[in-house]
């Protein structure tokens, strides 16, 4: 089976692919075909060079990227299912499931704690520590140092010595030790432990490292610029026997330094591996020339980068536009209107994305999209598997895999309600020499007759289900939910509870999907898969516009992209201003946002934004000037004026708000003086060219009754002089100002 063509690669890609032996570094710009290069290299190793798929390891940074790589390779060559393709965390979890017995007291059925599970352990440790003064401060310091330590290679003692002069470090050291002991007692690892424990395993058990290092003759690493210290060390360890390591990265897209990523690993790689061959991929296959032009204009201002300039043969394309809105509502309406125009031209909703620096900016867009019936999904918010009802079901299931998991038992011991309060839980803990579940299932619990009576049904149910065949997996999960009467915790008369029941039904569906794809997998494998799963794996699917942070969409692409909130203090974020290294990371973030766009790119900033609990006048981001789309120039008195370039509206209807604005002498932001731009409903659509709506809005009259798909029945109480915006009072929602052309309204007959 051969279904790939080496000649489909460009010259630079072929040169890199043909470098078989030794260390190879490929600096691959955004959209330069690095995934194609990686998949073709794997296919070439297997099909043309006769390398066993079992001897190839390919590491990606997201589950989505891993899945796409598996799918592509499976279509190219036979045996692709035997290539080990996974994220760093999934790889380490797999190694630990096989070999963690070398690190007692941990056993192979360990639990992997989510962020909320780990947070509960942190709170318990702090509560029992006696450090009552300023718990919030201690928790913040503890969480920071815990993550910082676990993403490095130092022992706890070495880390504490290194930070010996820092605030409250003695207390932090005591808490970190207690936290580690608690996890060990529960036979549990947190997310960072997956990497750290694998590193310790390799260091302490050379025979385990040798097994994997000998096995993987060829190692490929995607998104190498995002590796942190411990990930880089793991790569070096795994490559210690054969030395055939092929890494692909782009320092211009390193946006995760806040969680330990170090783009300098690209430079370190050249020093740590002998005779490294370096290749550049500068040809872009994703974006038009005009999009690349603004992206190159921004990123060239960073000093710590390799010299490269992206280019394309796709053609010039539509010039990116910069829109100056009056406020966040104006900005959201501009985006909504443009999306509807693009949709009418044939663009699908899931081919468009609204990107922002921080989640807090999403509210106005969610409200606007709901008002105008635009399907959308917001990413970076509340994750499905973090919903309380789902976490409760997961906690029940975990106990059948890892009976030492006290955190899971405490979560469900009184769910559904069994009248087990904190006093009873503390008594069980005092009886426990090992785990709480084992105590409850033993004869010891009978010494507390009142507690035993309340838990008797739970004990009988658990013991009965332990003897059940856990296959098929979905049938066992449904039986657990039924036998523990989980649905009885919810009222069928409450809409919220009905939604919770539906969420549990959706959870069962996810078990069935996993079962269909992994027929031989057990309950432990399923629980591991959802712990390592990210909601962001589904971005760009489901027929909806994506609303997400820039961090969430790295590695993805959309035909049309809106980058909003381009203001000083937002992008770049305020803490980066005055700090060169952080400012360069913010510029890389801007570059990543720009290069998600294939065909159309719309940028926006506002004059005034409600943020940090107050309404503030905003200064356009310095990146607007670097883009070449905005010119900031000094005027008399030291204030600024701005001029936007390009097609301001991206669709021929201009500014919703104030248009270009001048800054004068009232108000204050960042040391510069500003004056409020004039704005009212009648000039809401005023522009150089008169805007003509595509829909006949003259049908709407004051006093008419209308019905809206979300807000229900309402009455039009006012229409702007140009007939474009209507004020409508909806029962239960109050007055809403809606664009009559865009709003999903139906006139009700009298």
The residues that are catalytic are 34-35, 222-223, 253, 596
Separation CA 745–CA 535 (nearest Å) = 33
CA atoms within 13 A on the CB side of 511: 26
Give the pairing of strands 745-747 and 705-708.
antiparallel
- Is residue 254 within 8 A of residue 302, CB to CB? The reply is no
Separation CA 131–CA 410 (nearest Å) = 23
CA-atom Rg of the chain in angstroms? 29
Q: What is the 3-state secondary structure (H, E, C) of 354-409?
A: EEECCHHHHHHHHHHHHHCCCCEEECCCCCHHHCHHHHHHHHHHHHHHCCCCHHHH
Spatial neighbors of 552 by CB under 8 A, at least 6 apart, are: 379, 380, 536, 539
Region of residue 525 (phi > 0: left; psi between -120 and 50: alpha; otherwise: beta): alpha
Residue identified by tokens 């008399």 is 636
DSSP states along 433-447: SS-HHHHHTSGGGGG
- Is residue 241 within 8 A of residue 57, CB to CB? The reply is no
- Is residue 744 within 8 A of residue 736, CB to CB? The reply is no
Q: Which two tokens stand for residue 561?
A: 């992209």
- Is residue 353 within 8 A of residue 541, CB to CB? The reply is no
Among residues 394, 390, 367, the alpha carbon closest in space to that of 378 is found at: 367
DSSP state of 567: B
Q: Which two tokens stand for residue 434?
A: 């090992």
- Is residue 62 within 8 A of residue 256, CB to CB? The reply is no
Q: Which two tokens stand for residue 115?
A: 């962020």
* Burial track 644-676 (b if 16+ CB lie within 10 A, e otherwise): bebbbbbbebbbbbbbebebeeeeeeeeebbee
Separation CA 607–CA 619 (nearest Å) = 7
Strand residues in 233-289 grouped as ranges (E): 245-249, 277-281
Total Cβ atoms within 10 A of residue 732: 8
DSSP H or E segment with residue 466: helix 449-466
Q: Give Cα separations from 717 to 218, 706, 710, 714 (angstroms).
A: 70, 11, 19, 9
Spatial neighbors of 85 by CB under 8 A, at least 6 apart, are: 58, 60, 66, 69, 70, 73
DSSP state of 243: -
Separation CA 620–CA 614 (nearest Å) = 18
């Amino acid at each position: 089976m051969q279904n790939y063509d080496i000649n489909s690669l460009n010259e630079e890609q072929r040169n890199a692919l043909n470098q078989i032996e030794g260390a190879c570094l490929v600096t691959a710009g955004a959209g330069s075909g690095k995934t194609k290069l990686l998949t073709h290299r794997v296919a070439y190793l297997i099909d043309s060079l006769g390398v066993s798929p079992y001897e190839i390891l390919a590491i990606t940074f997201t589950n989505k990227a891993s899945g796409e790589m598996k799918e592509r390779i499976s279509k190219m060559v036979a045996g692709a299912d035997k290539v080990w393709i996974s994220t760093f965390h999934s790889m380490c979890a797999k190694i630990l499931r096989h070999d963690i017995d070398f690190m007692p007291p941990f056993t192979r059925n360990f639990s992997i704690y989510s962020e909320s599970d780990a947070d509960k352990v942190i709170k318990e440790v702090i509560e029992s520590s006696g450090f009552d003064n300023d718990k919030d401060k201690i928790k913040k310091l503890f969480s920071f140092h815990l993550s910082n330590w676990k993403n490095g290679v130092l022992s706890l003692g070495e880390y504490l010595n290194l930070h010996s002069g820092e605030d409250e470090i003695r207390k932090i050291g005591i808490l970190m030790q207690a936290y580690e002991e608690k996890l060990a007692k529960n036979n549990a690892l947190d997310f960072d432990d997956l990497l750290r424990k694998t590193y310790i395993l390799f260091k302490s058990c050379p025979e385990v490292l040798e097994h994997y290092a000998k096995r993987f003759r060829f190692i490929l690493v995607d998104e190498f610029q995002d590796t942190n210290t411990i990930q880089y060390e793991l790569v070096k360890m795994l490559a210690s026997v054969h030395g055939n390591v092929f890494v692909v990265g782009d320092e211009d897209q390193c946006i995760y330094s806040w969680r330990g990523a170090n783009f300098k690993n690209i430079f370190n790689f050249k020093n740590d591996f002998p005779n490294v061959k370096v290749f550049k991929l500068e040809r872009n296959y994703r974006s038009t020339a005009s999009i690349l032009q603004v992206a190159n204009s921004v990123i060239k201002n960073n000093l710590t980068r390799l010299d490269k300039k992206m280019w394309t043969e796709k053609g010039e394309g539509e010039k990116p536009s910069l829109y100056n809105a009056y406020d966040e509502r104006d900005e959201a309406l501009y985006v909504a209107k443009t999306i509807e125009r693009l949709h009418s031209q044939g663009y699908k909703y899931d081919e468009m994305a609204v990107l922002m620096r921080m989640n807090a900016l999403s509210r106005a867009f969610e409200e606007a999209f709901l008002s105008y019936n635009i399907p959308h999904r917001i990413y970076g918010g509340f994750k499905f598997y973090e919903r309380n009802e789902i976490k409760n079901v997961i906690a029940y299931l975990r106990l059948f895999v890892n009976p030492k998991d006290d955190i899971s038992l405490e979560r469900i011991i009184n769910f559904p309600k069994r009248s087990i309060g904190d006093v009873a839980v503390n008594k069980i803990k005092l009886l426990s020499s090992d785990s709480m579940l084992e105590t409850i299932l033993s004869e010891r619990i009978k010494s507390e007759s009142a507690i035993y009576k309340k838990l008797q049904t739970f004990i009988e149910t658990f013991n009965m289900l332990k003897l059940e065949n856990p296959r098929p997996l979905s049938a066992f999960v449904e039986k657990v939910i039924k036998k523990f009467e989980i649905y009885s915790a919810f009222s069928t008369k409450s809409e919220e509870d009905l939604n919770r029941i539906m969420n549990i039904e959706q959870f069962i569906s996810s078990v069935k999907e996993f079962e269909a794809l992994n027929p031989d997998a057990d309950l432990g494998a399923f629980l591991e898969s959802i712990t390592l799963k990210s909601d962001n794996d589904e971005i760009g699917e489901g027929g909806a516009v994506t609303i997400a942070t820039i961090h969430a969409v790295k590695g993805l692409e959309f035909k049309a992209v809106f980058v909003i909130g381009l203001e000083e203090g937002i992008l770049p974020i305020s803490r980066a201003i005055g700090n060169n290294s952080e400012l360069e990371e913010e510029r890389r973030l801007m570059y990543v946002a720009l290069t998600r766009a294939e065909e159309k790119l719309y940028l926006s900033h506002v004059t005034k934004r409600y943020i940090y609990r107050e309404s503030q006048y905003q200064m356009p981001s310095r990146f607007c000037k670097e883009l070449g789309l905005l010119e900031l120039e000094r005027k008399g008195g030291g204030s600024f004026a701005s001029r936007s370039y390009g097609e301001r509206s991206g669709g021929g209807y201009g500014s919703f708000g104030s248009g270009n604005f001048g800054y004068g002498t009232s108000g204050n932001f960042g040391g510069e003086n500003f004056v409020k731009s004039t704005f009212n409903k009648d000039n809401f659509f005023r522009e150089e060219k008169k805007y003509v709506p595509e829909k006949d809005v003259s049908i709407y009259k004051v006093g008419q009754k209308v019905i809206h798909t979300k807000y229900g029945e309402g009455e039009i109480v006012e229409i702007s002089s140009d007939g474009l915006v209507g004020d409508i009072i909806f029962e239960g929602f109050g007055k809403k100002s809606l664009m009559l052309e865009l709003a999903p309204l139906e006139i009700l007959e009298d």
